[in-house]
């Protein structure tokens, strides 16, 4: 049986802080995919070339929500972090398709943020695997 303890939220533990940050950053991205008619993210999925865009946006929403909740509550953290990293790697590539070129700097529409966040998730998986 899974149990969530107070130590899962110990903010003096760097791994816990990283886990919580990696989880919480997903929630605005999930919101962007579910609120509105159509959700603002749908245009991104269409321009990035996902077909059918609605299906892929819903898949991304489910994957991100499951990963975020698992990370937030410390459930199967290693696996959730790897799923999150994979999702973010896809997002980084999608940003390139959206822009029509490879851009790095986040403030110019590049993939820097997605790549950094994916690396943080991989590091998190490594920390929890030991």
pLDDT of res. 130:
78
For the chain, the residue count is: 130
> What domain range includes position 65?
10-129
In a domain, 83, yes or no: yes
Q: Read off the pLDDT of residues 20-69 as tens digits, 9 standing for 90 and up.
A: 999 999 999 999 999 999 999 999 999 999 999 999 999 999 999 999 99
- Whether 4 is covered by a domain: the verdict is no
Q: Say how many domains are in the chain.
A: 1
Name the average pLDDT for the chain.
94
Does residue 29 form part of some domain? yes
| Sign of the CA dihedral running 52, 27, 103, 44 | positive
Confirm whether 40 is domain-assigned. Answer: yes
């Amino acid at each position: 049986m899974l149990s969530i303890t107070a130590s899962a939220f110990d903010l003096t533990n760097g791994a816990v802080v990283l886990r919580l940050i990696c989880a919480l950053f997903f929630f605005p991205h999930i919101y962007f995919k579910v609120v509105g008619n159509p959700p603002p993210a749908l245009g991104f999925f269409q321009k990035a070339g996902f077909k059918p865009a609605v299906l892929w946006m819903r898949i991304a929403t489910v994957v991100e929500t499951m990963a975020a909740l698992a990370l937030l509550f410390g459930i199967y953290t290693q696996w959730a972090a790897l799923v999150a990293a994979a999702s973010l790697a896809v997002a980084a590539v999608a940003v390139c398709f959206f822009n029509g070129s490879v851009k790095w700097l986040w403030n110019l529409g590049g993939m820097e943020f997605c790549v950094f966040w994916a690396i943080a998730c991989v590091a998190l998986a490594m920390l929890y695997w030991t």
